[in-house]
Amino acid sequence: MNNEALNIFDEEIDQKGQFLTFLLENEAYGIWIGYVTEIIGILPYMEVPELPNYLRGIINLRGRIIPIMDMRLRFGKHFVDYDERTCIIVVDIEEDTVGFIVDSVSEVVTIDDDKIIEQPMMSTGISNQFVKSIGKVADEVKLLLDCEKVLRYKEMEKPLTEDEQRRIKNEMVL
């Protein structure tokens, strides 16, 4: 039993500085690998009424029903059509499983603690609310997400423009 506990501990240490990076509108974001359970392509989804627009609906992931969240809409960016590069990152946070829809997934990077700086609080805008810290990899920066906040923070919902509404409508696959 002790050994098993140690292994889990080791794994956590292994994962500590690892982040899955993905792109949203040319910005590189990072999400701690410990949250991520799998990455899948975009699937047909079922819209659920009365939810905020960034929650696109629910998908059937091998018999599990999980909600999917469009990260662009969540961050108040413009909606773009889903294509073959669009990915769903399935994350497990506490008791919830949610799929994040992102433009594309890049890679898993290791960022040491000393390369991570706290997010300077002066910036505004929706997306910055969800950025916990900033990691430097070579000469690039990755915005590291505060997943808890992405899920729990309820206030932000930017109304969709006419054009976006029309395009989302076409996106309803099923």
Partner 1 sequence: MGGFSDENVSEIFRFMHTIKGSSAMMLFNSIERVAHTVEDIFYFIREQKPTALDYSAISDLVLECVDFIKLEVEKITDKNEPDGDAEPLIQSLKGLLDGMKTEFSVDEIKEKPKETAPEQYYIPQEKNPAISLNACYHALVFFQDDCMMENIRAYTLVLGLMDMVEEIYFSPADIADNPETAIEIREMGFEIYMKSDAGYEMIKAYFDKSIFAERLSVREVDEGTLKTFQNKLQAASPSVPKIPEIDLSKDPILNEQAKTNGEMEKNTSTNGSNGQTMISVNVDKLDMLMNLVGELVISESMVTQSPDVEKIEAENFHKASLELHKITEELQDMVMTIRMVSLSNTFMKMNRIVRDMCKKLNKEVVLEFAGEHTEVDKNIIEHISDPLMHVIRNAIDHGIENEDERLSKGKDKVGHIFLEAKNMGSDVLIVVKDDGRGLSREKIIEKAKKNGILEKAEEEMTDKEIYKLILLPGFSTNDSITEYSGRGVGMDVVVKNLESIGGIAVVDSEPDRGTTITMKIPLTLAIVEGMNISVGQSRYTIPITTISESFRPQESDCFRDPDENEMVMIRGKCYPVLRLHEHYKIKNAQTDLTKGILIMVEEDEKQICLFADELLGQQQVVVKSLPHYVTTMKRINGLAGCTLLADGSISLIMDIGGFTGLRIQ
With binding defined as CB under 8 A, does residue 156 bind partner 1?
no
Asked if 42 and 82 touch (Cβ cutoff 8 Å), the reply is: yes
Question: Which residues inside 68-107 make contact with partner 1, applying CB under 8 A?
Answer: 95-98
Q: By CB under 8 A, is residue 41 in contact with partner 1?
A: no
State which amino acid sits at residue 168: I
Q: How far is CA 100 from CA 9, 105, 117, 149, in A?
A: 27, 11, 24, 13
Closest CA to 108 of 44, 5, 166, 30: 30
* Segment contacting partner 1 by CB under 8 A, of 53-61, 71-79, 80-88, 125-133: 53-61
CA-CA distance, 48 to 10, in Å (whole number)? 40
Q: Which is nearer to partner 1, 91 or 143 (CB)?
A: 91
The residue range among 34-42, 65-73, 111-119, 121-129 that interacts with partner 1, by the rule CB under 8 A, is 65-73
Task: Rule CB under 8 A: choose which of 6, 8, 40, 65 binds partner 1.
Answer: 65
Pairing, β 36-41 against β 104-110: unpaired
Q: Which of 64, 78, 85, 149 binds partner 1 (CB under 8 A)?
A: 64
Is 7 or 60 the residue whose CB approaches partner 1 more closely? 60
Residue 54: which of 157, 172, 168 has the closest Cα? 157
Binding site for partner 1 (CB under 8 A): 44-52, 55, 58-60, 62-67, 95-98, 151, 154, 169, 172, 174
